[in-house]
Structure 1
Amino acid sequence: MSMRLARLLPLFVSAALIVPALALAADQYVPLQQRMSPAEFKAAGLDKLSADELKNLDDWLSGHGKVITKVVDSSGKPVFYPESGKRTAVTARLKGSFNGFAENMQFPLDNGQVWKQAGSGSYVCPHAENPNVTIKPMMMGNWLMYVEGCGESISVKRVR
């Protein structure tokens, strides 16, 4: 072995040991306090947790792998119900006053979803505050919305 190679051998051995260690470290969980800025940490209310509570949260998060499921259409817009998935009825309360349906009207629900009237047409219904709604899947990917106390139903599409 040449003298030059003999001097480089410790460097190669060190690199061979460090690279796998770095790869292992990349797969390890990084605590929230290190992943978030101080402002983000405070905004999330995590600064109110005791050291033990924060450790328990970090332990739980480290044991539950990050799962990201994002389905978008060809234009990049979110798809809330992929065609291959089973669609189920949505039951919730409409937020605010309800007097009927009108074209392009949006319906915010107490579960965070927002639906929009898909078709044209207007229907007057008895006034209601925060009425119960049921949105049922129909054929061809369509949805039909029923509002408690209103004798009409309309076709809707989810916008959020």
Structure 2
Amino acid sequence: MLQDHLDMVNDLLNVVEAAEQRLGRMDWAERDRVNHRTSYIFERFHLSHVCCNDHVSWSDMEDCERRLAALGCKLCVVRIDGVALVDRHRERGTQWQEVVRGWGVAEGKVADFLLRRQDQFIARSCQPALEVHIVDMSAITVEDGAVEVLDFWGIC
């Protein structure tokens, strides 16, 4: 089961590394053109495997962390306060409730569970070799959060 997690992370990184290598071999610079930086977003990547699976440790993902750093990746962790979390949880409707039930979390305990998980992500994000930015979504829209992330990455 651990190998499945490692294989998935490695497969994705192999694709990105191959694309970066190929872009580095293009002749744009010789023709006075700019080789624009490739941007990509991994949602729930190596940090998620560690925080969400008891059988995956940080040492299992250290090679992944080094590879991400070599690619110039940055890490964004999204956080939200308890009140906003409960409000957004209610807005998501019955399909989301089914997902939560699948976690085996009692209805009244979902916010506590998610806030504890969030604390794990934030604590773990303090250890990586990547530049880290925590986006507080408690009082901002998704659009404003996206702008903050893009600004942190220097994409726009």
Structure 2-normalised TM-score?
0.22
In terms of fraction of residues, the more helix-rich structure is: 2
Asked which structure has the greater CA Rg, the reply is 1
- Give the structure, 1 or 2, with the largest relative contact order (CA under 8 Å, sep 6 or more): 2
Which structure: greater strand fraction? 1
